[in-house]
Amino acid sequence: MFSTRHHRGPFGSVLVSLLAVGIMGGTVISPRLASADSVDDKRRQAANIADQLDNLAEQMDALGEDYAQSLTDQADLAVEIDRAQADVAAAEAQLSQMRGTLYMSAVTQFMHGGRNSTLTNLFASSGGVQDSLQRSQLLSIAMNQGSLTTDSLDATATSLTKKKAALEKKRKQAISIGVVANKRLGAAEALAARYEQLQSTVQGDLVDLLREERSRREAQALSDAQREAGTYKSKYASIQKKYGNIPKVSARSQSAIKAALSQLGVPYRYGMSAPGKAFDCSGLTTYAWGKAGVGLKRNSRAQFNSLPHIPKELAMPGDLIFTGSPIHHVGIYLGNGTMVHAPRTGDVVKIGPIRWWKVVGVVRPG
């Protein structure tokens, strides 16, 4: 009778021994565990990319508002230049009228005084404006007639010179600001290109993992924002007692909110405030409150500095929420920890959570 037991060869014995040692020593790595480690690595990589994108976004916000500040400076200076030009034109007209009055008086005196009049040489000189002024002054002294005096001519001439110098200075400032504005826009656009380039390097599984990571962060931010807003609401009355002269919420705030919400989905673009086309963050707040009948400064920093400040714990719908140091972003509070805002290049006007820990101030238009 033959035995049915199988005999192991040398290789089989060694394999069994290795498996036994591996199991007892815990050194066997299953394909499932290896795959899990790979996914965890990719998740960490996606989180790192999200951090880099967030950091670039902060820098883009700051440069964008720097550019908006330059545009505001340009607009303000353009108004000043127009006024300075009007002042120069008025002073020139006044001087011309004074010279004309003296001229006619001098001609009359000359005609009565004859060819040997001592005024003849005054008219013979052919100098510039200053010579003309000097002749007019001498005429006034020689004739001692009319209400015009040397002092009044001096004052007019000096005023005109100063006004022209001021106008020239403003024109040079305008050129300088234009150069600065272009540099700031170039820097902002270069940073935006880096942002887009970083996003474009994300390939394969990382695309979905990065999307999941950003969605997770946004959901967490919303939860945190709503919880914080709930805390503020529960303490509203007690906090309000600590502050005096807090302006009431404007009846126009709902109109501003409605105007802002009507622009949901409109693209972000530096320095823009064009309904239906493009906005930057302060361009949206300027537009929305403008539709409500309240004029705001054109950039976030000027808005913050020109309006009544409110403790963030007392923020109400319609108030403006500011972040960044220096300030570089603003949105319109909707309540319950959310705001409508124009975030950054590559994004659109949308509703998002407030990172209360980033808030540096709240103001109340109206």
> Is residue 17 included in any domain, yes or no?
no
Let me know whether 340 and 234 are in one domain: yes
Residue 128: phi, psi to the nearest 5?
A: -90, -155
- Report the pLDDT value the prediction gives residue 173, as an integer from 0 to 100: 84
SS3 labels along the chain: CCCCCCCCCHHHHHHHHHHHHHHHHCCCCCHHHHHHHHHHHHHHHHHHHHHHHHHHHHHHHHHHHHHHHHHHHHHHHHHHHHHHHHHHHHHHHHHHHHHHHHHHHHHHHHHHHCCCCCCHHHHHCCCCHHHHHHHHHHHHHHHCCCCCCHHHHHHHHHHHHHHHHHHHHHHHHHHHHHHHHHHHHHHHHHHHHHHHHHHHCCCCHHHHHHHHHHHHHHHHHHHHHHHHHHHHHHCHHHHHCCCCCCCCCCCCHHHHHHHHHCCCCCEECCCCEECCCEECHHHHHHHHHHHCCCCCCCCHHHHHHHCCEECHHHCCCCCEEEECCCCCEEEEEEECCEEEECCCCCCECEEEECCHHHEEEEECCC
Let me know whether 195 and 81 are in one domain: yes
Let me know whether 356 and 255 are in one domain: yes
The domain boundary residue, chosen from 166, 200, 234: 200
Compute how many other C-beta atoms are within 10 angstroms of the C-beta atom of residue 156. 19
> Is residue 136 included in any domain, yes or no?
yes
Let me know whether 72 and 113 are in one domain: yes
> Is residue 211 included in any domain, yes or no?
no
What Å distances lie between residue 63 and 53, 69, 82, 270, 285, CA to CA? Answer: 15, 10, 29, 9, 18
Let me know whether 61 and 130 are in one domain: yes
Residue among 62, 68, 77 at smallest CA distance from 272: 68
Let me know whether 151 and 244 are in one domain: no
What is the four-CA torsion angle of 102, 107, 109, 112, rounded to 10 degrees?
Answer: -170
> Is residue 164 included in any domain, yes or no?
yes
> Is residue 216 included in any domain, yes or no?
no
The domain boundary residue, chosen from 145, 165, 200: 200
- Report the pLDDT value the prediction gives residue 73, as an integer from 0 to 100: 85
The domain boundary residue, chosen from 169, 200, 231: 200
Let me know whether 135 and 51 are in one domain: yes
**266 vs 238: CA distance, rounded Å:** 40
Question: Strand 350-353 to strand 359-363: parallel, antiparallel, or no bridges (unpaired)?
Answer: unpaired
Let me know whether 71 and 196 are in one domain: yes
Domain membership of residue 146 as a residue range? 46-200
Q: Give me the CATH number covering residue 275.
A: 3.90.1720.10
> Is residue 179 included in any domain, yes or no?
yes
Q: Along the 366 residues of the chain, how does pLDDT read in single tens digits? A: 444 444 444 434 433 443 344 434 444 444 444 455 687 888 898 999 989 988 888 888 888 888 888 888 888 888 889 988 998 888 888 878 877 776 776 666 666 654 444 444 544 545 555 565 555 555 554 444 445 555 676 788 888 888 888 888 888 888 888 888 888 888 888 888 888 888 888 888 899 999 999 999 999 999 999 999 999 999 998 888 888 789 999 999 999 999 999 999 999 998 899 999 999 999 999 999 999 999 999 899 999 999 999 999 999 999 999 999 899 999 999 999 999 999 988 899 999 999 999 999 999 999
- Report the pLDDT value the prediction gives residue 289, as an integer from 0 to 100: 98
pTM comes to: 0.67
Let me know whether 136 and 268 are in one domain: no
Question: Strand 309-310 to strand 359-363: parallel, antiparallel, or no bridges (unpaired)?
Answer: antiparallel
> Is residue 207 included in any domain, yes or no?
no
pLDDT tens track for 163-201: 888 888 888 888 888 888 888 888 888 888 888 888 888
pLDDT tens track for 72-83: 888 888 888 998
- Owner of token pair 């403003």: 170
Domain tally, the chain: 2
Let me know whether 165 and 228 are in one domain: no
CB 143 within 8 A of CB 103: no
CB 279 within 8 A of CB 329: no
Let me know whether 307 and 338 are in one domain: yes
- Report the pLDDT value the prediction gives residue 21, as an integer from 0 to 100: 40
Let me know whether 156 and 90 are in one domain: yes
**361 vs 324: CA distance, rounded Å:** 10
> Is residue 13 included in any domain, yes or no?
no
- Report the pLDDT value the prediction gives residue 24, as an integer from 0 to 100: 43
- Owner of token pair 């005999």: 7
